Amino acid sequence: MFKAFLLSSIVVLNFNAYAHTDISNWLNCERLLGLKIILQNISPTKALLNNLIPRPGSVVASTTPRYYYHWTRDAALVIDSLLQYYEYAASAEEKNEIRKKLPEYLELSRHIQDVYTDEKWGPPIFNLGEAKFNVDGSAYNDFWGRPQNDGPALRAVSFVHWARILMAEGQESFVRSQIYTANIPANSVIKKDIEYISHHWRDLNVEPWEEVKGDHFYNRMVQRKSLIVTAQLARDLGDVAAAGWYISQAKEIESTILKFWDEQRGYFVATLNGVPSDIHDYKHSNLDISVLLGLLHGSLDDGFLPLTDPRVKKTVEKLIEAFKQTYEVNKHGPGVAIGRYPEDRYEGGNPWVLTTLAVAEYYYKIGQIDKGDEFVARVQYHTPASGNLNEQIDRNNGYMKSVEDLTWNYAAILTAFIARDKAIKAAAVP
Ligand code: NOJ
Ligand code: NOJ
């Protein structure tokens, strides 16, 4: 392992960083490694599952074969993290690398928006809420949690973000011809998703863990954001009537989101109107990190449910307390290893890397750098010297577990890195 370690240029450069516990150095190493792996996992070339050759623009969730699919949610979050990095921290060379991937993601997204899964799984319109596609861009036709209506919202957010960057770089004509057009029936990538969201956000659908059907805090938060940022873009591009419609739907969503506050339990619950199922039946607490993820991915700094809301604080504290008691590894610090929800049984129910990083990002965003660092230190504690991050951390022995190099983990590294850097800079201002 030591040899492999020296061979990787990134690690050689920062060799000492892994030998001690300095969070700045560690996160810096991880963001370089993360960027490298994210770029590798977009338009990969290997046929690792069912001999399927990846279509350019597909973003694989992991290179472990059973996750070698393009998930709409993971892909959109990964692309958005790249765009945040592009704007905030990327070198000229890194920007070039990122820029190459974006038209590929656009082409792939447009393609899969018109790919229909077997009708036995639902009416054709649900194809926009389809969770995952084969890497060659064909439909996944086996049983899965459907529809997942966070996906099209997140995809729209990622394209609005890219459109904004393009417009700032003087490329509005590309945006107008390739990314957003006012035409109805929708024929542009953003409009297709956002018309679907604006008419279907009330539909019962499946949450980001792909397990439970119902109404979900996470999905509603990101749907609201997608409608608002698209409305702003639509207005700027002259599609004013559509903008009004999107805003009206975002406002309606807001009142439904506030219903997830459970005064008696003292936290925002993840799901309302859940449809009875095996999993729903043992998920008694309804306490779930997807609520915090919904705030991180969905909050807009516009006064609606800011991260500083006392109800958010209460929810985060309940989550930390619950996971502290749930996992053997949490008998010792640093920080607390965080899972999806306390009753989780997926692969034994373990802490996850991206959920632990979400708590770090939350603390950075509310200016509590020391608290945030405890959760990054927790992830660091379980990370091998190579820096590679699996999806999960074994709840008993603390070793990395489940699929390797989960692409979403590195998106979480980039956004935690940015949030920390911003918090440090803000704290330095007199
Ligand atoms: C696969 C999903 O991706 C995962 O989130 C879920 O927990 C398991 N299936 C069990 O339903
Ligand atoms: C399972 C997770 O629960 C889900 O959120 C994710 O989209 C897939 N794995 C792929 O990473």
Nearest to 194 by CA among 140, 250, 145: 250
| Top mutation candidate among 140, 346, 347, 355 for ligand 1, by most atoms within 8 Å of CB | 346
Peptide bond into 334 cis (omega under 30): yes
Cα(26)–Cα(377) distance, integer angstroms: 9
User: In whole angstroms, how far apart are CA 113 and each of 80, 231, 242, 246, 371?
Assistant: 18, 21, 21, 20, 41
Evaluate: CB of 211 within 6 angstroms of ligand 1. Answer: yes
* Pocket of ligand 1 contains residue 346 by CB under 6 Å: yes
Whether the Cβ atoms of residue 410 and residue 69 lie closer than 8 Å to each other: no
Per-residue pLDDT at 2: 35
CA-346 nearest atom, ligand 2? 3
**pLDDT score for 137:** 98
pLDDT of residue 203: 98
Assess whether the C-beta atom of 61 lies below 6 angstroms from ligand 2. Answer: yes
Q: What is the DSSP string of 222-277?
A: HHHHHHHHHHHHHHHTT-HHHHHHHHHHHHHHHHHHHTTEETTTTEE-SEESPPP-
- Please, what is the angle between helix 290-298 and helix 310-326, to 10°? 140
Pocket-testing residue among 206, 207, 209, 218, ligand 2, by greatest number of atoms within 8 A of Cβ? 209
Full-model pTM: 0.95
In whole angstroms, give the CA distance from residue 226 to residue 197: 8
CA of 176 relative to ligand 1 center, distance in Å: 38
pLDDT value for 333: 86
pLDDT at 30: 98
DSSP string, 100-130: HHHHHHHHHHHHHHT----GGGS-GGGGGG-
Splitting the chain (430 residues) into consecutive groups of 10 residues, what average pLDDT does each group show? 34 36 91 98 98 98 98 99 97 98 98 97 93 98 97 99 98 98 97 98 98 98 99 98 98 98 98 96 97 98 97 98 98 96 98 99 98 98 97 98 98 98 93
pLDDT at 5: 35
Q: How many CA atoms lie within 13 A of 292 on its CB side?
A: 29
Q: Are 388 and 353 in contact (CB under 8 A)?
A: no
- Residue closest by Cα to atom 7 of ligand 1: 346
- Rounded CA-CA distance 32/423 in Å is 20
Whether 153 contacts 196, CB under 8 Å = no
Single out the residue of 292, 323, 413 nearest to residue 23, CA to CA: 413
Instruction: Report how far apart, in Å, the C-alpha atoms of 348 and of each of 227, 318, 352, 418 are.
Output: 37, 22, 12, 32
